[in-house]
Amino acid sequence: TPNSEERFDGGSAPVTVLSDDLLAEHVVEDPHSYFSHLRETSPVHWNKAFRAWVVTRHADCLAVLKSPNFAADTVSPYFENRLSEREQTKWRPLFDVLRTWIVFKDPPDHARLRGLMRGAFTPRVVEAIRPAVQRMASTLLPAGEGRHEVNLIEEFAFPLPAWVISSMVGVHQEDLWLVSEWSKDIVEVAQGSLGSGDRRQRAQTAMLEFREYLRPIVEDRRRNPRDNDLLTELITAETESHQLTVDELLGGAILLLVAGHETTQNLLANCVIALARNPEQYRRLKEDRSLVRGTVEETLRFDGPVKSLLRVAVDEVQIGAVTVAKGDRVLISVAGANRDPRKFNDPDFFDVGRDASAQLTFGQGIHYCLGAPLARLETQEALNLILDRYRSVRLLTDRIEYDPKVIARTPLSVPVEFTS
């Protein structure tokens, strides 16, 4: 292709690799072909533009996620080594919140925070939200005979998870749009580099406004604890002599709101897109509801809402045939791993009946997604409602546009027609 360059890898045969631009239009539109090409030609590939090794084989991705030689704190090295003293002063408020986030913590501090947060995600707390998810979902989608045109993102995939996580963290329903705006600004920078230019400024402003918005909500919940309530559990969490500090609590609540809505929104949307493109799989599901759980796992594998995860090597370490130097960044392409034919048969085929449980979209190892049971519950309930109401689903566009992001896979608009 015109974007190709020649490169020698590991001293063996020359391989042709694609351009390093992870935000090139064809990569954003179809990351799977891009990562599959990398996986088969240069499985541990130095991406000059992003300044990271891109790892695309399932076994290698799993090894990196489980290895103590890779740190999840990608923010501190950036902050400390790449920003001038003046810049550090300017961006310290943003950095100070990000570094309370469990996703950027490494052992031993990670285990302390995880112990405290895990208690808030008990099956009891997650299960308690199920009836409300069902009720909410059923008010969002049209009922009645005939054909229904629906803007899937605006009318369903955004409001459902946003409402669920907001109500779990005590945000008032009329403020959902505020939370969504703040989240969008923050998620952009939450990938190790604190973003750049205007985006960084917007993220810092959003982060501080968000924190001040949550402060009275947390104070109120401290005085009025509730049963089976995520925020109450976070506030009262205690292990041995530890409790979350106020900063950790507010930072944690922001992380949950940011992590809990866009990812689940995209999972839901990607699931409907895959089913609309594979009507025979939709019919199969309608006949056998026991496949709903597996369908959600298969969507996570086939077209998950997270494409990549980032780590930093804390030591010189081997990945496959490549020696990675201490301090090098590694981009773990879970999208690449999830279509690795060494792990999954016929990986480019969307098959609601397959065992997709080895998918890596919730991560793996000590940082495995805490919200996975909640995301699964929401997506399964949403899918069940769609199957209850509609005979078929059709996409009303040939081409879906995605937000150009390295980490997230975010469809921008998904017009569909449901037929009852």
Q: In the complex, which residues of this chain contact ligand HEM (CB under 6 A)?
A: 72, 102-103, 114, 165, 255-256, 259-260, 263-264, 267, 304-306, 309, 361-363, 367, 369-371, 374-375
194 burial (CB, 10 Å; 0-12 / 13-18 / 19+) is buried
Q: How far is the CB of 256 from ligand HEM (least distance, A)?
A: 5
133 burial (CB, 10 Å; 0-12 / 13-18 / 19+) is buried
Our CB check for ligand HEM shows the closer of 103 and 152 to be 103
Instruction: Map tokens 């369903």 to a residue.
Output: 156
Residue 82 is encoded by which pair of tokens?
A: 């790449």
Question: What letter does residue 156 receive in the DSSP assignment?
Answer: I
Our CB check for ligand HEM shows the closer of 75 and 267 to be 267
Q: How far is the CB of 14 from ligand HEM (least distance, A)?
A: 33
Beta-bridge partners for 391: none
Our CB check for ligand HEM shows the closer of 331 and 393 to be 331
Q: How far is the CB of 207 from ligand HEM (least distance, A)?
A: 16
Q: How far is the CB of 144 from ligand HEM (least distance, A)?
A: 30
b/e per residue, 88-125, with b = 16+ CB within 10 A?
eeebeebbebbebbbbbbbeeebebbbebbeebbeeeb
Our CB check for ligand HEM shows the closer of 206 and 306 to be 306
Q: How far is the CB of 414 from ligand HEM (least distance, A)?
A: 16
3-state secondary structure of 103: helix
Residue 18's identity, in one-letter code, is L
Q: How far is the CB of 121 from ligand HEM (least distance, A)?
A: 7
CB atoms < 10 A from the CB of 25, how many?
A: 11
Our CB check for ligand HEM shows the closer of 18 and 374 to be 374
Range list of H helices, 278-364: 279-287, 292-303, 334-337
Separation CA 218–CA 253 (nearest Å):
9
Q: If DSSP states are collapsed to H, E and C, what string results for 256-274?
A: HHHHHHHHHHHHHHHHHHH
Q: How far is the CB of 165 from ligand HEM (least distance, A)?
A: 5
3-state secondary structure of 83: coil
Q: How far is the CB of 230 from ligand HEM (least distance, A)?
A: 8
Instruction: Map tokens 């005939």 to a residue.
Output: 146
Nearest to 302 by CA among 327, 275, 338, 253: 338
Q: How far is the CB of 246 from ligand HEM (least distance, A)?
A: 18
Our CB check for ligand HEM shows the closer of 20 and 303 to be 303
Task: Report the Cα 215 to chain-centroid distance in Å.
Answer: 25
Our CB check for ligand HEM shows the closer of 165 and 272 to be 165
Our CB check for ligand HEM shows the closer of 362 and 418 to be 362
Our CB check for ligand HEM shows the closer of 206 and 259 to be 259
Shortest-Cβ-distance residue relative to ligand HEM: 371
Q: Rounded to 5 degrees, what angle do the CA atoms 170, 210, 131 make?
A: 25
